[in-house]
Structures are given as structure tokens and as C-alpha cells.
Amino acid sequence: MNLRELAPAPESTAILNLRDSYGLYIDGRWVDAHGGSMATISPATEKPIAEIGLANAGDIDLAVKAARKAYDTVWSRMSGSERGKYLFRIARLLQERAREFAVAETVDNGKPIRETRDIDIPLVAAWFFHYAGWADKLDFAGLGTNPRALGVAGQIIPWNFPLLMLAWKVAPALAAGNTVVLKPAETTPLTALMFVDICEQAGLPAGVVNIVPGLGEVAGQALVTHPGVNKIAFTGSTSVGRHIARELAGTDVALTLELGGKGANIVFDDAAIDEAVEGTVNGIFFNQGHVCCAGSRLLVQENVHDEFVEKLKRRVSTLRVGDPLDKNTDVGAINSREQLDRIEAISATGEPEGASRWTLECAVPKAGFWFRPTIFTGVSTSNTIAREEIFGPVLSVLTFRTPQEALDKANNSPYGLSAGVWTQTASRMLTMADGLRAGVVWSNTFNQFDPTSPFGGYKESGFGREGGRHGVTAYLAAGGAR
Ligand code: NAD
């Protein structure tokens, strides 16, 4: 897919109209939150952007009831083609206001403006366009007769791709005829709250989309355990995913879990080395490595290891770390102090456990949360840095001799979300793709996303798929969410 086609129109205006404070959006209007409030801050400056109201259990109850009423009285009675029109409208409005959303996402999350402008927001629009196209076709798509929506979907998302994760969840849910209560992550609620304007501009009926920022243990927990919710779609850490699965065990609530990962990026000696270097950089330093499917383990064939690592370090030396609003920046700020502490703590185990550490020497701003791109070589599969999801700009390099050894090492992980293979031998590519226990295997590329492709994990990376046909069937009673 050519993302440039979906990039903001040159004439679009990028005036950021932010409020000083935001409440909750329930039943088509802004209401006060009853769980306190917290500032959302810019991780690049630590300055507050806006004060955000936090939902408590009572607020969640109101949101679920509003979603139920909208489902019963409006949304479930509407034809698919009418629902599709709303989704097309939302997609077009997002395109028109793409620059504004790109700036807001960059300020709230810390990721480079080049990425939000050229990747995140164009993909958000692409997701809505894709699922708009599904809405009027569900009766005829061979999914069984009269597919029915599940009802009210509770959706809980993380901070690494805030608006994109909203799109992955809201677009298929609405296309399939569900109504939504969405809880954004604590540190990145801004673009979800701005999305309310888009829903209103699109004329979406009240209660179809409800946005309820709040703490995970309070608002998230209340949403998961609310008896009026028919489906929980969660993207986040494996530990919280496990907790949610336990909470819902034995209930009839449909569940999709998109959890963590420790992607293996495998480079064979017959790969196009320079392209593989580029792909490796994109695989781990894109979005500061805050990517569930990041290629955080690089497996290089032993006979090209030294050449590859040297080229890799040379390329990483050219990365520009700093102000995410500068369009030349490659690596922005770490999303929160908590995440920075986690990255530092796991990285600190690298050298004592026997790996060699290389860190990009560069200046970083005084305020804000920063971590310089880091590469560990001489890593073994038992090292903490090879096993735990760091979720930061940290690459662990391992070696292998044979394809079987590459497979064994790649699969030696509790996670199974993503992998990449670099080789010019087609048969080897196919054998590897077959043997890798990962939900997505990229061939001579990494970190490519498209709304037509299913995405999801095996093992501790979760279950269920988002994207394409699988993504929409996960919101249908006929469609096997588990
Ligand atoms: P997290 O699990 O701490 O939080 C995710 C969301 O869950 C937040 O909105 C949070 O408020 C909420 N939450 C926390 N506790 C809860 C509870 N008890 N009940 C209900 N909701 C609760 O994860 P995070 O730190 O925000 O995100 C990083 C993690 O997300 C990483 O592990 C990453 O791999 C994963 N992730 C996975 C995918 C994927 O598609 N597989 C995509 C992006 C991120």
C-alpha cells in the first residue's frame, strides 16, 4: 500500500485546537469524570498539555449503558450501508485533519512527527476506509447467514500507537454493528479525545462511541468486569492480558488479546545486506522501539555477523535523536519516566550477563525522557535482554549457523508475535516462514502494516486477530472471537 497517497493533503490546515481540560465523552456529550484527574504531559519536555478527567466505576457504568441504548435503539437497526457511510465520513475527516492529529500525537506520545505524519495517521485513515467497505458486505461475505454483532464492545488500548490502536478497534467494531466504550492509555489520551470531534462532525448517533480515559486498575477493570459488555478487545502487556483472561474465564464475553512480543529478525548470508541493515534499523528503532512486533532480537548468520554489525552501527550512528516535532528527527522521546526506568533496568542486565554494549553517542535534551539507541552483541538466548520485552530502542544480536539453529533460537521465546527473514533464496524463505511460531513473518522487510492483513500472536503474545476479514469477524456473534 502506498501510504503517501493517504498522507495529509498539502492544503490541510494544522491548527491544533486543544482544550485546557477534558472530561469523558458519554452518550454524545462531554460529562465530568468522578475518578479524579491527571495531566497528560509531553514526554519530550515534561510540560503538561491538558488536564484529563479519569473515569471511575460509576462513569464506566454510564458509558456501558449509553452504548447499550445506542446499540438497541439505533446502531443494530441500521443497515450496513448506512453504517458504512458514517465510517467513510470518519475516514475522510481524519484525512482532512491529518496534520492536526499528527502534531497532537507527536506532542502527547513523543514519537517523531515524520512517523505520525507519514505512517500513523495515514494508517488510521486507511483502517477506517477499509472497514467502511466491509459494513455493507457482511451479509454476502460467506461468514454464515445473518451475522450478528456482539453488542457492546469494551476496548482498552496502550500508549505506543494511540490513535492507530483506536482505529484498529473502533473501525471493525462499528462496521460489524457494535457500539463501543473505549479506554485510552493513561499517558496518551489526547488523540482519542480529539477523535470525539470527528465523530460529532460525522454525525455519529449519540452513544455509539464513548471515550472514557482512566486508570487501568479502576476504569479498565470496571469495563472488563461490567456485566453489560459483550466483548473485550485488549491491547497491552502480557501481565494485564493474563489478568483480564482470568477475570473473564467462564463468562460468555468474547475476548481478543494483543499482547507483548520479542520479534526475531533473521539475516542469512545471502541477504541483500544493505537492505537488511535498513530493515533492521526500522525493525527496532521505529517509534523508539515501542512496538509490540519490533525486531528486538537480531539473528545474524555467523559468517556475515561482523560485516553486518559494523554496517549496522555505522547506519545507527546517522540517526538523529531529539525534538519529535522536528521533521528531521528519527528517534523521539521515550513515552514516560516509568517506561524509561524499565528500559534502563532491563538494559543494565546486558553486560553483567556477558553481552557487549554499544550506545549511540549523541546529545539529548535536558528535559524529557530519552534513551540512546543501543545494540548488544554476543547475546545468548538465556540472557534477560533476549527474553524480556524491553519495548525501547535496544537491539540484542545473536548468531546462528544453520537454518534449523535460526528457527530454534527464534522460537525459543515465550512470545510469538512477529518475525522477519532476509534471504534471496525463496525456498529457504518459505521453510522459515513455515517453521516460525509467529503471527506475522515479514519477508525481506520489517514493520509493515496494512488493514487487509490479519495481525495477532501465538503463545504469550495473545490470541485473536485484528485486521482484514479476521478483524471484522472478531466482532460478530458468528465469527469466533476466540
Ligand atoms: P499495559 O498493559 O500496562 O496497559 C494497556 C492498557 O491496559 C492501558 O489502557 C491500561 O490503562 C489498561 N490496564 C492496565 N491495567 C488494567 C486492568 N487491571 N484492567 C483493565 N485494563 C487495564 O500496557 P502498556 O504499558 O500500556 O503497553 C505496552 C504493552 O502493550 C507492551 O507489552 C506491548 O507489547 C503491548 N502492545 C501489544 C500490541 C499488539 O498488537 N500485540 C500492540 C501495542 C502494544
At residue 12, the pLDDT reads 44
Q: Any idea what DSSP says for residue 288?
A: G
At residue 218, the pLDDT reads 98
* Whether residue 14 has pLDDT greater than 70: no
Q: Are residues 128 and 165 in the same domain?
A: yes
183 lines ligand 1 (CB under 6 A): yes
237 lines ligand 1 (CB under 6 A): yes
Q: Are residues 341 and 468 in the same domain?
A: no
Residue 102 lies in a domain: yes
Residue 5 lies in a domain: no
Residue 6 lies in a domain: no
Alpha carbon 5 to its chain centroid, in Å, reads 22
How crowded is residue 204: how many other Cβ atoms within 10 Å of its Cβ?
Answer: 22
Please tell me the distance between residue 260's alpha carbon and the centre of ligand 1 in angstroms.
9
Q: Are residues 175 and 291 in the same domain?
A: no
Q: Are residues 224 and 341 in the same domain?
A: no
For range 354-370, the mean pLDDT: 97
* Whether residue 10 has pLDDT greater than 90: no
Separation of alpha carbons 200 and 123, rounded Å: 21
For range 185-213, the mean pLDDT: 98
Q: Are residues 427 and 360 in the same domain?
A: yes
Separation of alpha carbons 135 and 173, rounded Å: 10
How crowded is residue 452: how many other Cβ atoms within 10 Å of its Cβ?
Answer: 11
Q: Are residues 195 and 84 in the same domain?
A: yes
For range 249-263, the mean pLDDT: 97
Q: Are residues 268 and 253 in the same domain?
A: no
Q: Are residues 271 and 179 in the same domain?
A: no
Please tell me the distance between residue 35's alpha carbon and the centre of ligand 1 in angstroms.
20
Better pLDDT: 433 or 16: 433
Q: What is the CATH number of the domain that holds 37?
A: 3.40.605.10
Please tell me the distance between residue 353's alpha carbon and the centre of ligand 1 in angstroms.
28
* Best residue for ligand 1 mutational test, from 54, 156, 191 (most atoms within 8 Å of Cβ): 156
User: Are 238 and 137 within 8 A, CB to CB?
Assistant: no
Residue 120 lies in a domain: yes
240 lines ligand 1 (CB under 6 A): yes
Ligand 1 atom with least separation from CA of 466: 40
Tens of pLDDT along 146-158?
578 999 999 999 9
Ligand 1 atom with least separation from CA of 184: 9
Residue nearest to atom 19 of ligand 1 (CA): 221
In SS3 terms, 111-180 reads as CCHHHHHHHHHHHHHHHHHHHHHHHCCHHHCCCCCCCCECCEEEEECCCCCHHHHHHHHHHHHHHCCCEE
At residue 15, the pLDDT reads 62
- What residues act catalytically? 258, 292
Q: What is the CATH number of the domain that holds 313?
A: 3.40.309.10
172 lines ligand 1 (CB under 6 A): no
* Whether residue 479 has pLDDT greater than 90: no
User: Are 453 and 446 within 8 A, CB to CB?
Assistant: no
For range 238-247, the mean pLDDT: 97
Q: Are residues 317 and 185 in the same domain?
A: no
Separation of alpha carbons 288 and 331, rounded Å: 6
Give the pLDDT band of residue 104 (cuts 50, 70, 90). Answer: very high
At residue 370, the pLDDT reads 98
In the chain, the percentage of residues whose pLDDT exceeds 90 is 93
At residue 146, the pLDDT reads 58
User: Are 164 and 120 within 8 A, CB to CB?
Assistant: yes
Tens of pLDDT along 301-354?
999 999 999 999 999 999 999 999 999 999 999 999 999 999 999 999 999 999
Domain hosting residue 118, numbered range: 13-259+461-478
Please tell me the distance between residue 182's alpha carbon and the centre of ligand 1 in angstroms.
13
126 Cβ contact list (under 8 Å, min separation 6)? 1, 3, 6, 450, 451
At residue 381, the pLDDT reads 97
454 lines ligand 1 (CB under 6 A): no
Give this prediction's pTM.
0.95
Average pLDDT, the chain: 94
Separation of alpha carbons 399 and 421, rounded Å: 14
338 lines ligand 1 (CB under 6 A): no
Alpha carbon 129 to its chain centroid, in Å, reads 18
Residue nearest to atom 20 of ligand 1 (CA): 220
Ligand 1 atom with least separation from CA of 223: 20
Tens of pLDDT along 268-310?
999 999 999 999 999 999 999 999 999 999 999 999 999 999 9
Separation of alpha carbons 108 and 189, rounded Å: 8
* Whether residue 91 has pLDDT greater than 90: yes
Separation of alpha carbons 450 and 92, rounded Å: 18
Burial of 444 (0-12, 13-18, 19+ CB in 10 A): middle
463 lines ligand 1 (CB under 6 A): no
Separation of alpha carbons 364 and 331, rounded Å: 11
Q: Are residues 247 and 338 in the same domain?
A: no
Nearest one of 329, 441, 321 to 374, comparing CA atoms:
321
Residue 3 lies in a domain: no
Residue 456 lies in a domain: no
Domain count, the chain: 2
At residue 147, the pLDDT reads 74
292 lines ligand 1 (CB under 6 A): yes
User: Are 44 and 30 within 8 A, CB to CB?
Assistant: no
Q: Are residues 316 and 413 in the same domain?
A: yes
Separation of alpha carbons 352 and 356, rounded Å: 9
* Whether residue 136 has pLDDT greater than 70: yes
Q: Are residues 254 and 365 in the same domain?
A: no
Q: Any idea what DSSP says for residue 205?
A: P
Please tell me the distance between residue 237's alpha carbon and the centre of ligand 1 in angstroms.
4
* Best residue for ligand 1 mutational test, from 164, 292, 465, 470 (most atoms within 8 Å of Cβ): 292
256 lines ligand 1 (CB under 6 A): no
Give the pLDDT band of residue 138 (cuts 50, 70, 90). Answer: confident
Residue 142 lies in a domain: yes
For range 120-148, the mean pLDDT: 85
For 441, the 3-state DSSP assignment is strand
User: Are 464 and 439 within 8 A, CB to CB?
Assistant: no
At residue 17, the pLDDT reads 76
Residue 111 lies in a domain: yes
